[in-house]
Amino acid sequence: MAGLSTQPASASDPQTIGELHPPVVASLGDQKITVFFLKNNLKDQVRDVHVPDAEIFYTPMNVVKPSLNYVWKVEGEQIASVFFFERKFPERAGKSMFVLTKHKVLHEHFDGDSYSVLELPLFKDGDHLALQFFRGDLPDPELQNCLDGINREDGLEVECAYKDAASIKKYLADLDGRMISDSKLEQGNRQKPLKTDGDKASAACPSPNFSTFLSAFSERAAVQKAFVQQPLKMVTTVAGDPEPEMQKSSLSGDQLKFPIIPDAAKREAQGLTLTIKEEQGDHAVAILQKPDTDYVFEYRFVRGPCWRLEEVMDYSL
């Protein structure tokens, strides 16, 4: 939002904005904010430019100088529910506001609705409470584009398991419990000494949970040696005419230089970020990159008895 008009406007003004959902009060301790879900009533009049269905703003309560703060956009014709959930897993601990959106889907294959969940963490910004969307957080795939309706190809009913606050809270609680359990298992495995057989290292699987596995894999070169597939496939970007080209190779034995992924201390010193790009079944992809540069590496993992790195994609020029 470029600025605020000095002329008064209300959420019910049919020419400008409306309410997609009534305001919600969010709290953390004794601090509170009011969250607004403002619908753009001019959306259908705009062409060739994407306009979200609505946008989320918040304003602090009981402050001397109130302010209207932008949070994020809403992609959905309706807001089916707004609720709160507090995660206990240490790496993601904290209270968040969840927005369940719903929109109509109608095409030759399906007739019904699609539900998606947006998570907005609450945190203290100095003496004030704030609500923010973190671009680096990957949404749970089970909670995105969940279809509920009729499959028109076979006439069978499709039911979304996560179309209300109660079912989503149960899913989040189960997920949180599994992450805590996996973390305890990982801590137990870390206390076990690594065994070596010649130049070949072996170690207990850090965790079946990919996020927990990646944390251990990126921090310990010995774990990387144990869970790298050999030969390791490498794809490197090289200069080409007229476009860059991808060059493939395979590395094994002494050709592999560890650590393949730098640990957290080195990443911080070099301004690098490590995030999970996707996780689908027995495949997962992590990205190491330096923001605002062309430094980008993709690490592709597969899961058997444990996760194993099978391919590295170097997109840097």
The mean pLDDT of the chain is 84
User: Encoding tokens for residue 275?
Assistant: 């995030």
Quick one: pLDDT band at residue 281, thresholds 50, 70, 90?
A: confident
Rounded to 10°, the helix 165-190/210-219 angle is: 30
pLDDT tens profile 179-204: 787 767 656 655 555 444 443 444 68
CB 214 within 8 A of CB 207: no
What pLDDT does residue 126 have? 77
66 located within any domain: yes
108 located within any domain: yes
pLDDT tens profile 148-179: 999 998 999 999 999 999 999 999 999 888 87
Q: Considering the entire predicted model, what is its pTM?
A: 0.58
Between the CA atoms of 83, 87, 93 and 95, what dihedral angle is there, to the nearest 10 degrees? 20
Same domain membership, residue 243 and residue 166: no
Rounded percentage of the chain residues whose pLDDT exceeds 90: 47
What pLDDT does residue 56 have? 96
CB 96 within 8 A of CB 120: yes
253 located within any domain: yes
Distance from C-alpha of 184 to C-alpha of 164, rounded to nearest angstrom: 31
Same domain membership, residue 249 and residue 158: no
Q: What residues does 247 pair with on adjacent strands?
A: 236
How many domains in the chain? 2
Same domain membership, residue 167 and residue 42: yes
Distance from C-alpha of 235 to C-alpha of 249, rounded to nearest angstrom: 6
- Domain end among 153, 179, 205: 179
- Domain end among 124, 151, 179: 179
Please enumerate in sequence order all residues whose Cβ is within 8 A of that of 117, keeping only pairs 6 or more positions apart, or say none: 98, 99, 100, 101, 139, 140, 143, 144, 162, 168
CB 16 within 8 A of CB 41: yes
Quick one: pLDDT band at residue 6, thresholds 50, 70, 90?
A: very low
Same domain membership, residue 207 and residue 175: no
Mean pLDDT, residues 265-281 taken together: 90
171 located within any domain: yes
Q: Which of 151, 172, 86, 139 is nearest to 278 (CA)?
A: 139
- Domain end among 145, 179, 213: 179
308 located within any domain: yes
pLDDT tens profile 36-56: 999 988 777 777 778 888 999
What pLDDT does residue 186 have? 57
pLDDT tens profile 296-309: 999 999 998 899 99
Q: Which domain holds residue 232?
A: 195-314
